[in-house]
Chains A and B, each alone.
Chain A
């Protein structure tokens, strides 16, 4: 029987007794391309850090490939927010990718020829091999993001986790970026965390919305409940209500709380 790649059961995580994730369940299967959407402060990054094993939930269980995340770090590729990375750092593209091979048990300061070849092959996958000797600060936002993906891919991971990967990338760059991810997604499981829901619509296979609670749809569609979870309940005259209508059209949501596209009125059904 197939084993899920990611399995979260009843996960609760709080900062200063304020729960950011509250009793969250999530199952991701091999080959999925999942977009995790949510507002700022909704718990997306906390969710991602629990999957990576950087945070331990106060309640619940996290399993990646059936084990504790810290035991399978070799099988996970991680692309952090670009803002984590110092732009003026004295480092070239090849060395950034080689960093993905860092193993704290292996000491010294030299990289082997095999490691360099592996890094160059990884750069080739994201079409950045010609930039191998360039400094990081000479690259555009989109190019830098590709280098960080190459670093995550250098160990040939089975799960790729990306945190807000397109936050500093222009619309064309975003499109190319998701094309690249979709091509990779055929062979590995991809989880993309973003607050920008428009970029995730094109190539994803499933969507999860997190705002303290989590709702997961195995299809690339936002349900009315998901929109309510993301943005709360808004009248159609409210700007947020108008935005929700646009989003619902983008994701093919036919009805939001009983009304068709033009009359978005979350919560009206309950009323």
Chain B
């Protein structure tokens, strides 16, 4: 009965689009999320996601197409954030916090000034994967391909930079350029992920799948692949729950991810305790 209901759901174009969007989102979550986690940029990625709201406000205020405008605005914000955080490490958190709030505030103010504004604000904050049109899917595919091409091209350099920046510099790796490039890739990914779960929940999809994948992976490459698979699982299960219980799809995806995170966390903790107990006895 349930299977029949799901097959019926898959016959709808909006559901097919949602599944494709979930797949495209998962690729950037797995690849860029892994780099975000190993470079300890989760807070910065969260800041960038919220700054993107300034781009949404700007697009409506100027009457421009939303996606290109948000991409441009977020890329600009990523350049500022890359400049501010370069070489400062964890000390940059205050500036990230300021830009986080500034982007949101700018977006809200611009939307206030937009005449005849009647856009569903919730779809940008919490995503609307069930309403992603085909045209946006093509744009998401293009952004995915750009991200994949850049990462494949610079994989060894990114690996060296992420593992040990100082050593990477001695090997002639252009660390400063890669720092800016990575944050630009995070900006592009944020725009893709906003389609699925909204800017408030972006941080969860950029951190939970890579965390789960990184526990056992013996290389960054494998971490990226496993994180992509985890993300696909979360997106598909979340969509299923969303359809069955008529709940917001973005929140359902994150709920599944968080449930898996805690299940794995508890499993790991119990296993560690059990092995420690076994060693004692």
Contacts and interface: CB of A to CB of B under 8 A. Distances in A.
A107 interface: yes
B218 A109 contact: no
The main secondary structure of chain B at its interface with chain A is helix
Interface stretch (A94-102, A218-226, A232-240): A94-102
A80 B218 contact: no
Contacts of B223: 90
Interface string B149-162: 00011111101101
Contacts of A88: 214
Contacts, number: 84
Interface in A103-140: 103-104, 106-109, 133, 135
B38 A86 contact: yes
Interface residues of A, number: 29
B219 A91 contact: yes
Contacts of A135: 218
B268 to A, nearest CB: 13
A90 B159 contact: no
A205 to B, nearest CB: 24
A88 B171 CA distance: 22
A219 B111 CA distance: 74
B172 interface: yes
A100 B163 contact: no
B218 A133 contact: yes
B174 interface: yes
A78 interface: yes
A107 B218 contact: no
Contacts of A100: 171
Interface string B167-207: 11111111000000000000000000000000000000000
Contacts of A99: 156, 159-160, 163-164, 167, 171
Contact of B163 (A53, A76, A91): A91
Given A89-B163, A90-B214, A108 B172 contact: no
A84 interface: yes
Interface of B: 38, 152-157, 159-160, 162-174, 213-214, 217-223
Closest 6 CB pairs of A and B: A109-B155, A90-B217, A92-B218, A90-B223, A102-B171, A102-B160
7 contacts: A53-B170, A78-B167, A80-B167, A84-B164, A86-B38, A95-B219, A99-B160
Given A88-B214, A90-B219, A102-B173, 15 more contacts: A52-B170, A54-B169, A84-B164, A90-B217, A90-B222, A91-B159, A91-B220, A99-B171, A100-B171, A102-B157, A102-B159, A106-B156, A107-B154, A108-B153, A108-B156
